[in-house]
Amino acid sequence: MEPTDGKRPTIYDVAREAGVATSTVSRALTNPGRVNERTRDRVVEVAERLGYRTNALARALPSGRTRTVALFVSDITNPHFFGIIRGAEQQTRAAGCTLILADTEESPDLEAAHIERLSGSVDGFVIAASRMSDQQIGELTGRHRLTLISRQVGGVPSAIVDHEDGTRQIIEHLASLGHRSVVYAAGPRRSWLAAKRWHAVRAVSRKLGLSATRLGPFPPAVQGGAAAADAALGQGATAVIAHNDLLAIGMLRRFTDRGVHVPNDISVVGYDDIFGADFCSPPLTTLAGQFDEAGRLAIDLLLGARDGTRPPQADNQVVLPSHLVVRGSTGTAPS
């Protein structure tokens, strides 16, 4: 029954069929209060009958609002981002929007390129673990709606998991097991988080009277673990804190291969509590945080800011709690 030549019906088709103007159809469908109930019912009925679907592109063109947001992750392979992606996807959907996903491959240039490319087809960006400089991010904020995850930059809304308090929990845990020194196996040089975690490790260690050493940087992946493990053994470490769980798991494997027993000979702690941290061998003691919540929150911050519901102010920097999950990879210090 569609008056179309095989194409999707438009508001013109609906308008003709219902005997009204396109403007009325448009209002009937999007601005219910603005049109008489009877005509609205008729329009809706006709639209339904014709199988009319509004064309998102056409709708977005005049307003510029696409109801689409982009999420960038620095490495789509890393299970750490699963939670973030899932949370962001859920919340985006809940807001009736669409999520675009892009992998930035640890490259600040690729981040910028993606923004450049998507700018205009997207209402805003959520960047997880951005590798761009503070300055770059600052400049971008002027031109685009932007929200960060696992990164803080003055004036930019963000959601992070508390690394300071979390690191305190880690170090106190190790100290309570009798460890007098810790080694930190660092993540990528450009990673803001890697820097922050090291700072926290050093600060807390100092306060508790432990010595802290930094090794690395190592690639934040399972394969990076071998070098990190060897380096830690070279230091004669009794406890090592890895930049993230991937690295920690890689270290565990290397220790096993080298006949080093965890936790008797050395304790290992990771960050993030990723998938697998609970069933590797031994199960990993790690700092857990609600990263799916961070993903949700980042979307809220972005979309809320967009609607003017919340002012996009500097104080939109949410810090989520973290808690230590103690498993088998940590034990009393060897004597």
Find the binding residues for a second copy in span 57-76 (CB under 8 A): 57-58, 60-61, 66, 76
Question: Of 135, 209, 279, 307, which lies in the binding site for a second copy, with binding defined by CB under 8 A?
Answer: 279
CA angle 86, 91, 93 (to 5 degrees): 95
Stretch binding a second copy (CB under 8 A), from 12-20, 28-36, 93-101, 175-183? 93-101
Residue 53 binds DNA, judged by CB under 7 A = yes
DSSP letter at 328? T
Residue type, 298: A
Q: Binding partner of residue 86 among a second copy, DNA, none, CB under 5 to 8 Å per kind?
A: a second copy
Least distance in Å: CB of 101 to a second copy?
Answer: 4
Of these partners, DNA, a second copy, none, which one is at the site of residue 11 (CB under 5 to 8 Å by kind)? Answer: DNA
State how far the Cα of 46 lies from the Cα of 16, in Å rounded to an integer. Answer: 10
8 near a second copy (CB under 8 A): yes
Residue 271's closest CA among 246, 299, 238?
246
The answer to whether 48 contacts a second copy (rule: CB under 8 A) is no
Residue 306 lies near DNA (rule: CB under 7 A)? no
Contact 278, 293 (CB under 8 A): no
| Dist CA 264 CA 282 (whole Å) | 11
At 325, which amino acid appears?
Answer: V
Binding flag, residue 268, a second copy (CB under 8 A): no
Residues that contact a second copy, how many (by CB under 8 A): 39
Instruction: Take residue 227 and report the two structure tokens written for it.
Output: 């070098």
Figure out which of the listed residues 2, 16, 44, 79 binds a second copy, where binding follows CB under 8 A. 79
Chosen from a second copy, DNA, none, partner binding at 77 (C-beta under 5 to 8 Å by type): a second copy
For residue 183, what are the CA distances in angstroms to 57, 103, 174? Answer: 53, 31, 11
Interface size with DNA, residues (CB under 7 A):
32
When asked if residue 120 is in the footprint of a second copy (CB under 8 A), the reply is: yes
Q: Which of 20, 129, 242, 324 binds DNA (CB under 7 A)?
A: 20
* Residue 124 or 224 having the CB closest to DNA: 124
Q: How far is the CB of 121 from DNA (least distance, A)?
A: 11
DSSP codes, 166-185: HHHHHHHHHHHTT--EEEEE
Q: Is 21 in the site for DNA (CB under 7 A)?
A: yes
Residue with tokens 């002012």: 311
Query: Are 66 and 56 contacting, i.e. CB atoms less than 8 angstroms apart?
Result: yes
Residue from 2, 44, 49, 59 touching DNA (CB under 7 A): that is 59
Shortest CA distance to 317 belongs to which of 174, 162, 179?
162
CA pair distance 235, 183, nearest whole angstrom: 8
In the complex, least distance from residue 7 CB atom to DNA, rounded to whole angstroms:
6
The answer to the question of residue 100 lying near a second copy (CB under 8 A) is: yes
CB 118 within 8 A of CB 61: no
Let me know: does 37 contact 47? Beta carbons within 8 Å: no
Name 83's bridge partners: none
The helix or strand, by DSSP H or E, that contains position 126, with its residue range, turns out to be strand 124-128
Member of 253, 320, 326, 334 binding a second copy (CB under 8 A): 253
Query: Judged by CB under 7 A, which of 2, 49, 54, 328 binds DNA?
Result: 54
- Which residues of the chain form contacts with a second copy (CB under 8 A)? 8, 53, 55-58, 60-61, 66, 76-77, 79, 82, 85-86, 89-90, 93, 98-103, 116-121, 222, 249, 252-253, 275-276, 279-281
